[in-house]
Amino acid sequence: MIEVRNIDKSFGPLEVLKQVSITIEDEETLAIIGRSGSGKSVLMKHLMGLITPDRGEVIVDGVDINAVSYGELRQLRRKFGMLFQGGALFDSMSVFDNLAFPLRTFSELSEEEITAKVEENLKEVQLEGVEDKNPAELSGGMKKRVALARAIALTPQYIIYDEPTSGLDPETSNTINDLIRSLSSRSNVTSIVVTHDMHSVLTIADRAAFIHDCDIHWVGTIEEMHRADDPTLSAFVRASEYQVGAPDRTASP
Amino acid sequence: MKYSDELKVGIALVVAALLFILGLRYFQDLPLFDTTDGYYTLMDNAAGLSAGSAVRVSGVPVGAVRRIRYAPDARQVRIDFYVEKSVDIPEGSHIAITGLSQLGDVKMDLTLGPAGRDLIAQGEQVPSQEEDLFGDLAERAPTLFNRADTVLVGLDRVLSGVSRQLEQPDSDLRRTLQSLEETSTTVDRLLETEQQRLAATLDSVAVLTESLNRLVDTGEENLDLTLEDTRQLIGRLDRNLDSVESSTDRLDAILTKVENGEGTLGLLVNDPTLYHRMDSTLTRVNTLVEDFQENPRRYLQELKLVEIF
Amino acid sequence: MLDRRFLAPIEALGQYVLLLTKAFQSLNEVSIYRKNLFKQMVAIGIESIPIVALAGLFSGAVLTVQTAYQLESPFIPQSIIGSIVVPSMVLELGAVVTGFILAGRVGARIAAELGTMRVTEQIDALEAMGLNSIGYLIVPRVLAGVFMFPVLYITATGVGIAGGVGVAHYGDFLSAGEFVAGARQFFSPFDPMFGLLKAFVFGFIITSVACYKGYYTGGGAEGVGRSTTEAAVLSCVYILFANLALAILIL
Ligand SMILES: Nc1ncnc2c1ncn2[C@@H]1O[C@H](COP(=O)(O)OP(=O)(O)OP(=O)(O)O)[C@@H](O)[C@H]1O
Ligand SMILES: [Mg+2]
């Protein structure tokens, strides 16, 4: 369980988060939605202690991650897998080495086992035969999928996806959504998905949190979201649905 | 990518370290691959010496100074140096600073003790030698003794030779006596001339005394000193005259005895070898006496001093 | 506003020292950086050998020719050229020429590398995996600098002296023997030790400043460019200061 309590964060004069609180339950899948630049990625980084809040606490499994030692923090972080918005692949390494890196660093697997595991992970994200390429030789969508494969390599307890389907064609998007859903359905996996893609939200999430105006403006289940009479949220949801071409109207009122 | 990074780095580090050490030794004029032994010495003054200065044996560089620092408890300068392993330093060796510090050309010269003695252990002190007379003398004493020894042995041999010859009689006495006579005549003549010269000298002294009298006014202290000097001079003059007198007396006595053919000298002149030797001696005495007549001043420096006054 | 301008450098210094402290604390986590260390030693050290040797060669050769030109006098023995060139290379040029060349080559490279990793969130990705990014990225680079700079210094100095001897000998200034004799006359083994110390210090300055600049890059490609320039320029400036400070403190 992750508890975010009243965090403030500003970058110089720019206030990004103000008094943000949210609780992420174990084994749920939470979608984070909000306009571009509203602070979604910043909030995600707070969850792993990559950004320290100006005020407030982040508590992961009962531990205040900003109060513990660096060593303990690193232990905590191993419970997480994070897909960064830009992929964040190590461009000094080949695709294979990128995927093998966490395995080599943190697991006891032999080199053959690692090779097998890397191939399996790549197959899951529908990529094959790219092991020897450099990240620079991949397309944006391919990078994202390699990064996703790397994030889940160590089967983490908490998986954070920062816009997993942006920049992907609808077909690949669906595959990724299916993958996320199957990962989320495993026992003891908590997923946090940042997305603009309402289709993703509808297909994979149990709950959604809407960030607006430096705050969690609204939070509730997908059902509740469609019935909510909040004008800002409705406007956002409607705009998204319009963009995606209203793929799934069954849940709408 | 045939070689691993580790190998490349390892090779680079090893090569660089080798280059560094060999370069250091090369410019210190040390053997590139021979190992060295370290020693130290204590000195009062290490002026001009610096780390890296050469250590030489018989003028050949065999090592270098490693470190110089002041040792407060010994109140001396401790100089650590090393020499090639092949150079053994026996007890009795010592080391000294040489060269001109003005030219930056200061070295240490290691003088090895006699071979066969126990070696000074590595890391131990090698006695130093600084420029002082005692050290110098101590260094030379053995040679001096040796030389004195040879001289004594030679003297011994001469004396025994003389006594052997004294026992052997010979007939050629007359010529020797003649020479001796001639010599005595010459000496007589010399003494005559000398008497005149002495008279002149005494005249000069009289003049001097007068001058001294005149000088009395100028200051008693100076005068005292001058008088003291003069007294000493006159004393020495006296003694000289005495010795001339006694020499003449003794010569007289000897000649009388020889004339009478008395004592061992009679036997002495019978030896032909001795005769020849005495002959040459007398010839030399003659030359000496002639020279004395020509340049009496060279032999009478004391008198000359008085004359200059 | 005025306060900020005065406080900013002090804040930067504090940040730099903190970064190095963290790096120092990560020193014992050898497994994290072992592999990277050798990679960086090759990238920073081995691959710099040719350029450093070239620079050393020309410094030594030029120094010899110019010393010979300045000392053209019948009263001065020609071997003095060796006595001047060798200590100059050993004490000063070997280390400083290496330092300047590597401030550009190595400093800029490290800052660009780490800066790019920062702005593309690769550093965040390392941290997110539970890895000590400072130990993983900075320690091997600084260590590689500290270990390999002496190697490069020795290379530059050795090649430089060889260049000096070569020019002296084949340029008919003085024979190699005279050159070496002159060098030996005033040679002090402390000089190369001091040069080596300089190389250690310069290696540390260049790599640590570049790591600091790169690690704390902000603002995209432009930020990376700024960090790169600053790393190269500041390394050079700090090398100059360190050179003076070492000379005053130790000589
Ligand atoms: N390291 C940083 N330094 C300064 N400002 C930052 C930093 N990171 C984020 N910001 C600012 O914080 C705000 C929120 O950024 P964030 O990346 O969280 O947006 P986002 O909600 O993820 O947007 P998007 O959907 O486009 O990814 C933006 O205005 C951004 O400029
Ligand atoms: Mg974002």
Give the tens place of pLDDT for each residue, A77-124. 999 999 999 889 999 899 999 999 999 888 888 999 999 999 999 998
Give yes or no for residue B204 having a pLDDT over 50.
Answer: yes
Give yes or no for residue B140 having a pLDDT over 60.
Answer: no
Q: Which ligand is nearest to the CA of A35?
A: 1
Name the range with the highest mean pLDDT among B179-193, B194-208, C51-65, C72-86: C51-65
* Residue B78 · residue B42 · CB < 8 Å: yes
For C129, name the nearest residue in chain A, comparing CA atoms only. A78
- The reply to whether residue C125 touches residue A86, judged by beta carbons under 8 angstroms, is no
Residue nearest to atom 3 of ligand 1 (CA): A11
Ligand 1 neighbourhood includes A11 CB (under 6 angstroms): yes
* Residue C207 · residue C140 · CB < 8 Å: no
Tens of pLDDT, residues C210-226: 999 999 998 888 999 99
- The reply to whether residue B12 touches residue C147, judged by beta carbons under 8 angstroms, is no
Extract the runs of DSSP E, i.e. beta strands, from chain B. 36-43, 54-57, 60-71, 76-84, 94-98, 107-111
Which residues from chain A sit within 8 angstroms of residue C121, using beta carbons?
84-86, 88
The whole-angstrom separation of Cα C222 and Cα C239 is: 26
Predicted TM-score (pTM) of the model is: 0.69
In this prediction, residue B175 carries a pLDDT of: 57
Residue B209 confidence class, pLDDT cut points 50, 70, 90: low
Residue nearest to atom 14 of ligand 1 (CA): A39
Which residues from chain C sit within 8 angstroms of residue B68, using beta carbons?
none
Check CB contact of C80 with chain B, cutoff 8 Å: no
In this prediction, residue B308 carries a pLDDT of: 44
Residue nearest to atom 31 of ligand 1 (CA): A37
Average pLDDT value for chain B: 70
Kindly report the length of chain B: 309
Neighbours of chain B (3+ CB pairs under 8 A): C
* Residue C115 · residue A78 · CB < 8 Å: no
- Ligand 1: centre distance to CA A130 (Å): 31
* Residue A166 · residue A115 · CB < 8 Å: no
Phi, psi dihedrals of residue B157, rounded to the nearest 5°: -60, -45
**% chain B with pLDDT above 90:** 4
Pick the more confident residue, B164 or A40: A40
The whole-angstrom separation of Cα A53 and Cα A67 is: 12
Q: State yes or no: chains A and C have 3 or more CB pairs below 8 A.
A: yes
Ligand 1 neighbourhood includes A16 CB (under 6 angstroms): yes
In this prediction, residue A119 carries a pLDDT of: 92
Distance to chain C for B100, nearest Cα, Å: 13
Of residues C151, C185, C189, nearest to B12 (C-beta): C151
Q: Average pLDDT in the C130-158 region?
A: 93
In this prediction, residue B126 carries a pLDDT of: 86
Of residues B6, B16, B26, nearest to C154 (C-beta): B16
Give yes or no for residue B174 having a pLDDT over 90.
Answer: no
Contact partners, residue A97, CB within 8 Å, separation at least 6: A90
In this prediction, residue B129 carries a pLDDT of: 79
Tens of pLDDT, residues C107-126: 999 999 999 999 999 999 99
What's the one-letter identity of residue C224? V
Query: Tokens in use for B265?
Result: 């000298």
Q: Which single residue is written with the structure tokens 């299916």? A: A178
Nearest to C199 by CA among C58, C15, C56, C69: C56
Q: Average pLDDT in the C147-157 region?
A: 95
Give yes or no for residue A253 having a pLDDT over 50.
Answer: no
In this prediction, residue B159 carries a pLDDT of: 59
DSSP-derived 3-state class of residue A94:
coil
Q: Average pLDDT in the A204-208 region?
A: 92
* Residue A32 · residue A217 · CB < 8 Å: no
Q: Which single residue is written with the structure tokens 């391919």? A: A142
**% chain B with pLDDT above 70:** 48
C-alpha angle B166/B168/B171, rounded to 5°? 105
For A88, name the nearest residue in chain C, comparing CA atoms only. C122
Residue A245 confidence class, pLDDT cut points 50, 70, 90: very low
The enclosing H or E element of C142 equals: helix C139-170
Pick the more confident residue, A241 or C5: C5
Pick the more confident residue, C244 or B64: C244
For A154, name the nearest residue in chain C, comparing CA atoms only. C129
In this prediction, residue B219 carries a pLDDT of: 53
Pick the more confident residue, A207 or B219: A207
Which residues from chain C sit within 8 angstroms of residue B13, using beta carbons?
147, 151
Which residues from chain B sit within 8 angstroms of residue C187, using beta carbons?
27-28, 52
Helix intervals (H) in chain A: 40-47, 70-77, 95-106, 111-124, 140-151, 170-185, 198-204, 222-227, 231-244
In this prediction, residue B309 carries a pLDDT of: 43
Q: Average pLDDT in the C159-180 region?
A: 89
- The reply to whether residue B5 touches residue C86, judged by beta carbons under 8 angstroms, is no
Of residues B5, B20, B28, nearest to C154 (C-beta): B20
The whole-angstrom separation of Cα B216 and Cα A4 is: 123
In this prediction, residue B180 carries a pLDDT of: 64
Residue C240 confidence class, pLDDT cut points 50, 70, 90: very high
Q: Which single residue is written with the structure tokens 């020894």? A: B149
Which of C34, C42, C121 should be substituted to probe chain A, the one whose Cβ sees the most A Cβ atoms within 10 Å? C121
The whole-angstrom separation of Cα C174 and Cα C196 is: 28
Q: Which single residue is written with the structure tokens 């964060």? A: A9
Pick the more confident residue, B215 or A73: A73
The whole-angstrom separation of Cα B301 and Cα B298 is: 6
Residue B189 confidence class, pLDDT cut points 50, 70, 90: confident
Check CB contact of C196 with chain B, cutoff 8 Å: yes
Nearest to C202 by CA among C154, C147, C146: C146
Q: Which single residue is written with the structure tokens 């060889």? A: C162
Residue to mutate (ligand 1; options A10, A14, A15, A16; most atoms within 8 A of CB): A16
3-state SS of B147-211 is: HHHHHHHHHHHHHHHHHHHHHCCCCCHHHHHHHHHHHHHHHHHHHHHHHHHHHHHHHHHHHHHHH
Residue nearest to atom 30 of ligand 1 (CA): A37
- Ligand 2: centre distance to CA A34 (Å): 10
In this prediction, residue A186 carries a pLDDT of: 85
- The reply to whether residue C113 touches residue A105, judged by beta carbons under 8 angstroms, is no
In this prediction, residue B303 carries a pLDDT of: 45
- The reply to whether residue A105 touches residue C121, judged by beta carbons under 8 angstroms, is no
Residue A241 confidence class, pLDDT cut points 50, 70, 90: low
In this prediction, residue B255 carries a pLDDT of: 64
Give yes or no for residue A250 having a pLDDT over 50.
Answer: no
Give yes or no for residue B144 having a pLDDT over 60.
Answer: no
Check CB contact of A111 with chain C, cutoff 8 Å: no
Tens of pLDDT, residues B250-265: 767 766 665 565 555 5
Ligand 1 neighbourhood includes A41 CB (under 6 angstroms): yes
Kindly report the length of chain A: 253
**β-bridge partners, A82:** A160
The whole-angstrom separation of Cα A58 and Cα A38 is: 19
Tens of pLDDT, residues B1-34: 578 888 989 999 999 999 998 998 888 777 677 6
In this prediction, residue A62 carries a pLDDT of: 92
* Residue B215 · residue B223 · CB < 8 Å: yes
In this prediction, residue A236 carries a pLDDT of: 84
In this prediction, residue C176 carries a pLDDT of: 86
What's the one-letter identity of residue B106? V
The whole-angstrom separation of Cα A104 and Cα A106 is: 6
Distance to chain C for A29, nearest Cα, Å: 20
